[in-house]
């Protein structure tokens, strides 16, 4: 065997562990795909399929916001970037007749470019200052979308945006769109996971934990923050474009400050420490209001109470439940 086996204690176990973990991950992805294949057929009606679709798109937004959060920055302009992607993709199909499957990609790249330009200016700020500036970016988007009549059609929004079709397959109907959204969601999930273990992920996490030390480790903290912001916002742009081609109608109201806050809430409730906290948060919070619909009038109060409870009992988010249970068990 090579020399590296003898150095640190426990190294051979680690290697065996990575192999098992790889098989486990592959199994999880396969299981998710198999389950997903049956989901549209098993759900009682189209309304539930619609909720499932929205949940998947929320998952994409929350994951992409997590990428930005992983350099320690909280963006309140996430919905704005989703909006830029949505308007770009919708206009490309409506005005230029570009097929949605291509306009989706172009919209993502365009949004990423805008984010890169903006990010290189505003990412000098940290903490509340960054949050405030991104809030203003969100407001600016809303104002532009409302007032640039010729392009955005103002408050009336854009209607009859064509659905996504690939090789003759029409992903317009809800059960069909589910498969497309699921594919996009899984792609985002796997990309985010791969990103966290890459050299970029190491740089991002170093910046989040201790930006001054990261800089003297030779990490170009300014550049990597822009990279994270660009990737995250670019994915949000694709997510926004997905909404445009799914709902087939967008307006300035589709991508407001409240949406940005909702994505942050997903991160916090799901758990910010690991990327799949974003997924858990999206899966928990997107359908929640719908299930509370029976309690008419009390709906929002119960929603708020659940949020407070989660944050009070689980400051680490829902993904900290196993740890919390283990600690409770240990105390006995």
Partner 1 sequence: MTVLLALEGVTKRFGGLMALKDINFTISEGEIIGLIGPNGAGKTTCFNVISGTLPPSDGKISFCGKTIVGLRSNRIIRMGLSRTYQATSVFPKSTVLENVVRGAFSRSEDTFLGSMLGTRASKAAQARERDRCMAILEQVGIQHVYNDLAGELPYGYQRRLGVAIALAGSPKVIMMDEPAAGLNPEESKAMGQLIREIHSSGNVSVLIVEHDMKLVMGICHRIIVLDHGEQIAAGTPEEVRNNPHVIEAYLGTEVVG
Query: CB 195 → partner 1: shortest distance, Å?
Result: 7
Per CB under 8 A, 214 contacts partner 1: yes
Site map (CB under 8 A) of partner 1, residues 154-193, x = contact: ----------------------------------------
Which span sits near partner 1 by CB under 8 A: 3-11, 166-174, 180-188, 304-312?
A: 3-11
Radius of gyration of the chain from Cα atoms? 21
Q: Is 199 in the site for partner 1 (CB under 8 A)?
A: yes
Q: In angstroms, give the least distance from the CB of 266 to partner 1.
A: 22
Total binding residues toward partner 1, as defined by CB under 8 A: 28
Identify the sign of the CA torsion 110, 276, 124, 218.
negative
Instruction: Please enumerate in sequence order all residues whose Cβ is within 8 A of that of 119, keeping only pairs 6 or more positions apart, or say none.
Output: 225, 226, 229, 230, 233
Can you tell me the distance from the alpha carbon of 286 to that of 273, in angstroms, rounded to the nearest whole number? Answer: 20
Which range touches partner 1 (CB under 8 A), out of 65-73, 95-103, 205-213, 284-292? 205-213
Tokens of 8: 């640190």
- How far CA 117 is from CA of 42, 68, 156, 226, 227, in Å, comes to 45, 15, 29, 9, 11
Whichever of 197 and 332 has its CB closer to partner 1, that residue is: 197
Q: Which CA distances in Å does 253 have to 142, 172, 249, 279?
A: 8, 22, 11, 24
212 sits near partner 1 (criterion: CB under 8 A): yes
Place of tokens 């007749």: 97
Q: Which range touches partner 1 (CB under 8 A), out of 133-141, 145-153, 154-162, 214-222? A: 214-222
Taking CB under 8 A as the binding criterion, the range among 132-140, 152-160, 215-223, 253-261 that sits at the site for partner 1 is 215-223
Residue with tokens 């990103």: 195
Q: How far is CA 151 from CA 26, 97, 155, 180, 251, in A?
A: 45, 15, 11, 28, 12
Among 20, 41, 44, 197, binds partner 1 (CB under 8 A): 197
Query: In this complex, which beta carbon is closest to partner 1, that of residue 156 or of residue 210?
Result: 210
Q: How far is the CB of 264 from partner 1 (least distance, A)?
A: 21
126 sits near partner 1 (criterion: CB under 8 A):
no
Q: How far is the CB of 275 from partner 1 (least distance, A)?
A: 14
What 3 state SS string does 154-219 have? HHHCECCCCCCEECCEECCCHHHHHHHHHHHHHHHHHHHHHHHHCHHHHHHHHHHHCHHHHHHCCC
- 21's enclosing H/E stretch is helix 11-42
Q: Does 13 bind partner 1 (CB under 8 A)?
A: no
Closest distance to partner 1 from the beta carbon of 17 (Å): 13
Q: Which stretch binds partner 1 (CB under 8 A): 71-79, 94-102, 210-218, 255-263?
A: 210-218
Per CB under 8 A, residues contacting partner 1 are: 3-4, 7-8, 10, 194-195, 197-200, 202-203, 205-206, 209-210, 212-222
């Amino acid at each position: 065997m090579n020399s590296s086996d003898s150095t640190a204690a426990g190294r051979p176990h680690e290697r065996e562990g990575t192999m098992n973990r790889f098989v486990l991950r592959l199994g999880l992805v396969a299981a998710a795909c198999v389950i997903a294949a049956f989901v549209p057929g098993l759900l009682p009606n189209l309304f539930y399929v619609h909720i499932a679709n929205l949940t998947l798109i929320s998952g994409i937004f929350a994951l992409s916001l997590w990428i930005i959060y992983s350099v320690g920055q909280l963006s309140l302009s996430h919905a704005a970037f989703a909006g830029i992607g949505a308007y770009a993709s919708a206009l490309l199909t409506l005005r230029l007749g570009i097929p949605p499957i291509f306009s989706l990609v172009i919209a993502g790249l365009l949004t990423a470019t805008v984010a890169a330009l903006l990010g290189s200016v505003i990412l000098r700020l940290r903490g509340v200052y960054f949050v405030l500036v991104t809030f203003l970016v969100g407001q600016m988007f809303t104002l532009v979308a409302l007032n640039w009549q010729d392009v955005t059609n103002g408050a009336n929004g854009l209607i009859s945006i064509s659905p996504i079709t690939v090789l003759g397959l029409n992903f317009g109907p809800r059960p069909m769109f589910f498969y497309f959204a699921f594919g996009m969601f899984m792609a985002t999930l796997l990309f985010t996971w791969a990103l966290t273990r890459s050299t970029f992920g190491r740089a991002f996490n170093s910046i989040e934990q201790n930006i001054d030390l990261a800089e003297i480790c030779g990490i170009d903290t300014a550049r990597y923050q822009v990279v994270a912001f660009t990737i995250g916002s670019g994915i949000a742009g694709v997510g926004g474009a997905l909404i445009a081609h799914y709902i087939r109608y967008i307006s300035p109201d589709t991508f407001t400050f409240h949406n940005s806050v909702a994505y942050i809430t997903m991160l916090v409730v799901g758990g910010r420490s690991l990327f799949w906290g974003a997924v858990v948060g999206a899966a928990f919070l997107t359908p929640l209001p719908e299930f509370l619909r029976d309690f008419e009038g009390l709906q929002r109060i119960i929603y708020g109470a659940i949020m407070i409870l989660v944050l009070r009992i689980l400051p680490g988010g829902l993904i900290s439940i196993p740890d919390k249970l283990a600690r409770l068990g240990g105390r006995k």
